[in-house]
Structure formats: structure tokens, C-alpha cells
Amino acid sequence: MIRHLHELDGTARDDFGHTSLHLLASSENCQSQLLSVVAEALNQDRELLGAVNTARQSFLHLLHPSWFLPGSRLEDLVKILKQYGFSILGRDVYGRNLFHIMRENDTSFDRIQNCALGIDTKALNRRDAFGRMPLRSRPSIQAARSIRRLIAAQRLTIPASGSPPATESESRILAQTKLLKIIYDAVSTEPGEGDPTREDLEGRNGFHALAEVILSMKSIKKHANIGVKRKHDKASTDDTVNEESVRRIELMEGLIGARVDVNHHNIAGDTPLMTFVVRLSDGETKAENLEVRNIIDRLVEAGADM
């Protein structure tokens, strides 16, 4: 049985990118051995500790289920990693960190909070691709979808009692205004106002909102009166597209500069990149298609996961 770091082949990898440390972490009845190896690696081989497989999972993502049972040495593992300043918030392709894995294995909320002491709560509690956040009650996928459908339906309903009934056009404009507010709240430089983590009830952050918002008054009016037939001037349409494209890129740079999370998942599990592809991929002109390409390239440059 492996008990020391030198007994591991730190360079060996299988077809899925697993190291010998991944294998040890996923083995049952090896908690003391893993703790011993990790303690040595923190001083001698941090590269092995940080190694990830093809799904970007570190050894922490592959911990055997017994690590999450009452009486395990999970707290000891987390404590030693934190003491040596090793990041335990690495995320896999689904946006999960160690604390998401704890929740999936039914670790008690008190135990999760205890392990989370001294860690950036916002970074720890980022939503994964399944709409789950470690420090919140987790909704089922079905519940998340129901919430999204409900909110979408409410966008076109009348205002609260006491307010005059809104027309469909007014409701559409109101929805656009709310999207703009998410963006401007994220990039605001006013003291106490800017919040890069700002999201709405659907979990959309500034990037999601930017993908969906309409940025020219002409387009907003057209969107608000979507059922009205109009004659369109091609030159006018091209000008509108160019206006929106320039403005969208400007706002994107603002969001990137404000350090808004480019890999944030909304409740439905969509990242900003996914939302941009869905919302903007049906361009009818070369200008629109170029905008999509530029946006995707810029998101990837800013760290968006493909």
C-alpha cells in the first residue's frame, strides 16, 4: 500500500489524464495514505497535486464517497491544504469544485460550512452547470426549468395590482430595461454600486444579459411591436446592426474589465458563451456574423471555457 510520495509515479497518466494521485484519492480505505502523500507533495510536488484529468478534475473531485461519511478525515484534508495555501476551488468542466462534490455526496450543511471557513464565499459558491450552489438549497433540474418558465411567462403579464395594465410592447421594453440594469450594475464605478456578481432571478449575470439585450432604440421599437408589419430600409438596417455591434463590444470590454465571471452558469446551466451562441448565431448579414465571431473570440481570450 502506498504511504509516501516517492512511491507514486508522478508522470504516469491514463487515457483520461488520471494520475496516480487521482487513483489513490478514488480508492477506499486509503484516507491516511492520501493525507500522508498530500502532506509531502505540498512541500515537494505541487504540480502533481494540481494535475487535472481531461474533465479538468483534480484528485479532490475524485475522492472516494467514504471521505464524505461522518467520522471521515475530510476536515483534516481540507485543513492541511488551506494551511499551505493550496487552492481547493478548482472547477471541472461542469463548474464543480470540492464543495459541490460534498453536496452531491450529502455532506451535512454544517460540515460544509466548517470546511469553508477562511475561503472566499463568493468563489466557493459559484453555480455549476446543473444550477447548484454548495451553500444554497439545491433545486432539482426540473425545478430550475420550472422557475425559468415561470419567470419567462411573467415577463409578458400585467403589472402588480394598483398599476395600470401594461401592453405587450411595454412588457417587452421593460424586460430589455431589466437586462440593461444587470449590465450597468456590474460595471458601475460609483462607490458602493458596482457589483460584478450581480445576477437576476434566472441566475443571469452581466454577460448573459449582454447576450440577450437589444442595444439600439430602433431594434427595441421593432422588438416591442413585433407583430406589426413594416417596410425595412436595408441601409437603415445595416446602420442599426453596426450601432449594436459597436455598443455590445464596448459593454463586453467593460464587463471583462470589471471581472464579471465569464464562466458563470445561470439556473439553466448555461454559460455566457453558450448564451451568446444561441442568441446571436442566427445573423442574417455579414456584419452580424462578424459580430458573433468577434464576441466569441473575445470571450475565449477573457477565459471562457469552450
The whole-angstrom distance between residue 229's C-alpha and the CA centroid of its chain comes to 39
pLDDT of residue 172: 78
> Quick check: pTM over 0.85?
no
At CB < 8 A and 24+ separation, what contacts does 287-294 make? Answer: 287/238, 287/241, 287/242, 287/245, 288/241, 288/245, 290/245, 291/241, 291/244, 291/245, 291/248, 291/249, 294/245, 294/249
pLDDT of residue 158: 42
Q: Which amino acid is at 153?
A: A
User: How far apart are alpha carbons 131 and 276 in whole angstroms?
Assistant: 19
- Could you tell me which of 256, 278, 257 has the C-alpha nearest to residue 266? 278
User: How far apart are alpha carbons 165 and 156 in whole angstroms?
Assistant: 11
Q: Which residues contact 103 (CB under 8 A, 6 or more apart)?
A: 112, 132, 134, 138
- CATH code 1.25.40.20 region(s) in the chain: 5-124
User: How far apart are alpha carbons 92 and 56 in whole angstroms?
Assistant: 5
User: How far apart are alpha carbons 302 and 249 in whole angstroms?
Assistant: 13
User: How far apart are alpha carbons 91 and 263 in whole angstroms?
Assistant: 10
pLDDT less than 50: residues of the chain: 138-144, 146-147, 150-151, 154-162, 165, 220, 223, 228-230, 235
Q: Cell digits for 243?
A: 450601432
77-90: string of b/e by CB count within 10 Å (b at 16+)? bbeebbeeebebeb
Q: Which amino acid is at 97?
A: N
User: How far apart are alpha carbons 34 and 5 in whole angstroms?
Assistant: 9
The topology (CATH level 3) of 5-124 is 1.25.40
